[in-house]
Amino acid sequence: MKYSINKNLANLTPKQFESWFKARKLEGDWESEFKKIGGKLSEPKRARKESEKD
Amino acid sequence: MAQCSTLQPNGSNQDCLVPLSEVKNLLICDKDVKFSWTEKDDISQWTNKIKQDLTIYAVAGLDSYNVTTDDPNIVTGAVSKSKTITNTPVPSFEAFLDSNACDFKQLLSTVTGGTYGIFYELQDGSIFGTIDQSGNDIGYLKPFRAKVNANTKGFQEIDSTQAFRVYIFHTNASEFYDNQFYLEPVWDTSELAEAMPVGLNMVKKAAYAAGDQTVQIKVRCGDAKTGLLVADFETDETQGNVSTPAVTTVVDDGGGNYTLTVQKDAVPVNLVDGDIVTLRVKVLSASDVTHISNWVSVEGVTP
């Protein structure tokens, strides 16, 4: 199934996009589709600095 | 009684008499279209209005036309027995387009008697319009103001080419007789019709259900239009009644068949009873419109 998603949906929060994507029952992975239209997933947690390690 | 001016013939062309050329084609315009003195000679100013602003519709061709302007009213004085013209009839025409049924169907639903602008392309390659000589737009070339109404009696009559009819009723005699202007461009006016976007025909295949509207899209009177993406669909908030109408996904089912997800609101949800979203195909190449379809109204259904 070949589909395209409206780029305006990149303005949604990742959570909003995820629930919209799953409600639409679209094939594929919502995160990669979100990124494809220019959406930004939450910043990945920063790796702890060396000095902060036990 | 009207005051007569002193006779001032203003000279004549001593070399030849140039007969008024016949009309070759029509340019139906938004009534506010205008070109400044320098813009009028630049073909890109004309084609941009055709394929970017969509404010000029260059008819594919004209098959024939009739001049339907009334004869002037001539009265004979009861006592003097001499004749006098008592009015200036406003020009009117009935044009028969060289069209196909699919293009004309769009014209029928669009040009329904409102006031438009009309430029005439003449057989000698000139464009006939009116030049503004007063007010805020002095020196601007403008189309004539006219009520334009597409009409057909249905089928083509036997041995006739007069099914695709457009009535043109000018609304102002003065701009036709007093301020007429012949633009003689260095470019070929046939380039204007060639600048027209390709017309598409979009039809709904079924009722809206669970967010989806299935449609079939074809080139008018032609083949299926394939390969359209979500960015090729345009919604019009003014023609619908929901906030933030959008086509959120487009699934290309092949063969010109598409499933459009049509939704509303900033966080998109499906349409419900009473919701209306109006959409069309508008394919852009940079700023130029290359393909355009009719508007389709999608009516929401509460599951």
Which chain A residue shows the shortest CA-CA distance from B257?
A2
Which 109-168 residues of chain B touch chain A by CB within 8 A?
A: none
- Report which residue type is found at B106: Q
Which chain B residue shows the shortest CA-CA distance from A3?
B251
> How high is the mean pLDDT in each 10-residue block of chain B (303 residues)?
69 69 92 96 97 93 92 95 94 91 87 93 93 93 96 84 91 89 92 93 96 96 94 93 95 95 96 96 96 95 91
Q: Looking at the domain assignment, is residue B122 inside a domain?
A: yes
Instruction: Mark whether B291 and B268 lie in a shared domain.
Output: yes
- Report the C-alpha gap between B49 and B119 in whole angstroms: 13
Residue A35 pLDDT: 95
CB-nearest to B249 from A5, A12, A16 is A5
Does A9 sit within 8 Å of B266, measured CB to CB?
no
The answer to whether B121 touches B24, Cβ cutoff 8 Å, is yes
Instruction: Mark whether B114 and B180 lie in a shared domain.
Output: yes
Residue B37 pLDDT: 96
- Report the C-alpha gap between B109 and B1 in whole angstroms: 46
- Report the C-alpha gap between A1 and B116 in whole angstroms: 45
Does B267 sit within 8 Å of A24, measured CB to CB?
no
For residue B13, how many other CB atoms are within 10 A of its CB? 7
CB-nearest to A5 from B211, B248, B267 is B248
- Report which residue type is found at B279: L
Residue A48 pLDDT: 52
Instruction: Mark whether B226 and B240 lie in a shared domain.
Output: yes
pLDDT in tens, B174-189: 888 889 999 999 998 8
Instruction: Mark whether B94 and B124 lie in a shared domain.
Output: yes
Does A1 sit within 8 Å of B249, measured CB to CB?
no
- End-of-domain residue from the set B194, B226, B258: B194
Instruction: Mark whether B171 and B288 lie in a shared domain.
Output: no
CB-nearest to B267 from A2, A6, A12 is A12
- End-of-domain residue from the set B178, B194, B210: B194
Instruction: Mark whether B181 and B221 lie in a shared domain.
Output: no
Does B251 sit within 8 Å of A2, measured CB to CB?
yes
CB-nearest to B229 from A4, A16, A24 is A4
Q: Looking at the domain assignment, is residue B289 inside a domain?
A: yes
Residue B157 pLDDT: 82
B32 torsion bin: left (phi>0), alpha (psi -120 to 50), beta (else): alpha
Q: Looking at the domain assignment, is residue B6 inside a domain?
A: no
Q: Looking at the domain assignment, is residue B10 inside a domain?
A: no
Q: Looking at the domain assignment, is residue B207 inside a domain?
A: yes
User: Could you say which residues of chain A have pLDDT below 50?
Assistant: 47, 54
Q: Looking at the domain assignment, is residue B8 inside a domain?
A: no
Instruction: Mark whether B33 and B83 lie in a shared domain.
Output: yes
Instruction: Mark whether B138 and B184 lie in a shared domain.
Output: yes
Residue B30 pLDDT: 95
pTM: 0.85
- Report which residue type is found at B116: Y
* Chain B residues with CB-CB distance to A5 below 8 A: 230, 248-249
Instruction: Mark whether B39 and B159 lie in a shared domain.
Output: yes
Q: Strand B288-293 and strand B198-204: pairing?
A: parallel
The Cα of A48 is separated from the nearest Cα of chain B by a number of Å equal to 35
* A-to-B residue pairs, Cβ atoms closer than 8 angstroms: 37
- Report the C-alpha gap between B57 and B119 in whole angstroms: 10
* Residue A36 contacts B where some CB pair is shorter than 8 Å: no
pLDDT in tens, B65-92: 999 999 999 999 999 999 999 999 999 9
Instruction: Mark whether B156 and B56 lie in a shared domain.
Output: yes
Which chain A residue shows the shortest CA-CA distance from B227?
A2
- Report the C-alpha gap between B123 and B24 in whole angstroms: 5
- End-of-domain residue from the set B164, B194, B224: B194
Instruction: Mark whether B109 and B242 lie in a shared domain.
Output: no
ipTM of the predicted assembly exceeds 0.85? no
Domain that holds residue B249: 198-299
pLDDT in tens, B183-206: 999 998 889 999 999 999 999 999
- Report the C-alpha gap between B143 and B32 in whole angstroms: 8
Which chain B residue shows the shortest CA-CA distance from A20?
B268
